[in-house]
Amino acid sequence: MDWIKTKKVIKVILFNMLLIVVLLALYESYLFFLVHHPSLLKKCPMGIRNGIGYLYNTGDRYVIQFSPACAKFDDQLGYTLKPGECTFSGREFSTRYLINSLGTRDDEKSLDHPRIIVAGDSFAMGWGVDQEETFAQRVERKTGFKVLNAAVASYGTAREMMILRRVPTDRLQYLIIQYCENDYDENKAFYLNRNVLPTMSEAEYNHYVEIDN
């Protein structure tokens, strides 16, 4: 009799374990489906949306600074954009980049003694928007002044100022700095290291390129 009861208990336990595995597999498939169909997220509870955001940011999101077609290693700045033309695509968008010899998303004419410079990270660079719709280009159309978009994805204020050393600023009248809260860590490291920015080595950069691609 005891053995019969034990067998029943084991069956119940195994059934419940199998049920849990099936439910987890279904939930994971559901999340995977949502990652690939983000338009459906509007109808999902905030908890699920946050979970999808985490999955996207940690495993499904590409960044331009580690794209071999659009960026390259720089021994002082870690990386810049790669001069020329490229198309950067992610799950959200596909945008064309025209990149000047400085390694920023603008044309060569804008490097010639600009009156306005926009410094910043991906927000100012124009993440997900066409080149003519970046903040710098809009300012240029509104003012008629020569405006240089010197923003590069994930740069903090320290690197934003460092890249400006490569630009003639004798006619500069306005410097617009777009700040993001994640600039703090880079700026703090720069300050604590006596105004020298610790950057990754070329081997480290290539490692991140390999992981991201």
Split the chain (213 residues) into runs of 10 and give each run's mean pLDDT: 71 86 82 70 72 62 88 96 93 90 98 97 95 96 97 96 96 96 93 91 92 73
126/152 Cα distance (integer angstroms): 9
DSSP classification of residue 98: E
Confidence (pTM): 0.75
DSSP state of 73: E
Query: Rounded CA gap, 48 and 36, in Å?
Result: 14
Of 105, 108, 103, whose CA–CA distance to 95 is shortest? Answer: 105
Q: Does domain 64-212 have CATH number 3.40.50?
A: yes
Check if the beta carbon of residue 82 is closer than 8 Å to that of residue 69. Answer: yes
pLDDT 10s digits, 62-106? 789 999 999 999 999 999 999 999 999 877 789 999 999 999 999
